[in-house]
Structure 1
Amino acid sequence: MRLNEINYDEAAPIDSYGPGFFRIGGERYDGPVMVSAGGVKAWGGFDDTQTVLDQAGTLDVLFVGTGAEIAHLPAAFRTTLEEAGMGVEPMASPAACRTYNILLSEGRRIAVALIPV
């Protein structure tokens, strides 16, 4: 078995998550967050499209962690982001964390908006 060291050059990886929080790059963040190459920002949930739209043009895809279970994104939220040219993929927050870390290690232009479990 060959093991390779993973380098996260562009942004901090998501280390862990738990009820109401995320640990990102060694620091704890409570509540919903958005993680990208620009850093970690508080995110106001589906009513806060501006925090996400600030990333338009810099991302290939945005993963949206919808909490413990996968859920449909509110239509207005999805429509606003798609009209700005952003690819949006909803998934449960645990899956979004894992997928974000994998694609981040590959150097992809991604971000994740997360609602805690």
Structure 2
Amino acid sequence: MLLSIDFESEIPIYQQIKNQIIKGIATGQLSPGESLPSVRQLAADIGVNFHTINKVYTQLKQEGWVVIHRRQGVMINPELSINITQDYIESLESTLEVIAAQAYLRGISKEKFIEIINEKFSKFAKKGSE
């Protein structure tokens, strides 16, 4: 999986990396049990500080997307489970509220906003039905 980092973006580098790994899992580019590069290797490949990658891997582990083994390294969690908690629902609602507010303030219609969400969600739903 190739990561594309925009060093000029307002989105922090660690968040860009984390988002791309999660999207890679959702699209099937990254499979359960697949190994990821070591912290130092990925940092060198991208050209970022290894602490940045360590932060990404730590957050991904806390959220259940990856497992970290001392000898085997970091891998996509081979036992990914659907874990819909109330905390996740509240976090999702909070995130969507901000995104919806931004869209509204920029003049995007409700219909267009829903169309965009449906398009993005369908991209991942199609992968799941294959």
Query: Which is helix-richer, 1 or 2?
Result: 2
Larger Rg: 2
Q: What's the TM-score once normalised by structure 2's chain length?
A: 0.26
Structure with the larger RCO, 1 or 2 (CA within 8 Å, 6+ apart)? 1
- TM-score normalised according to structure 1 size: 0.28
Structure whose residues are more often strand by fraction: 1
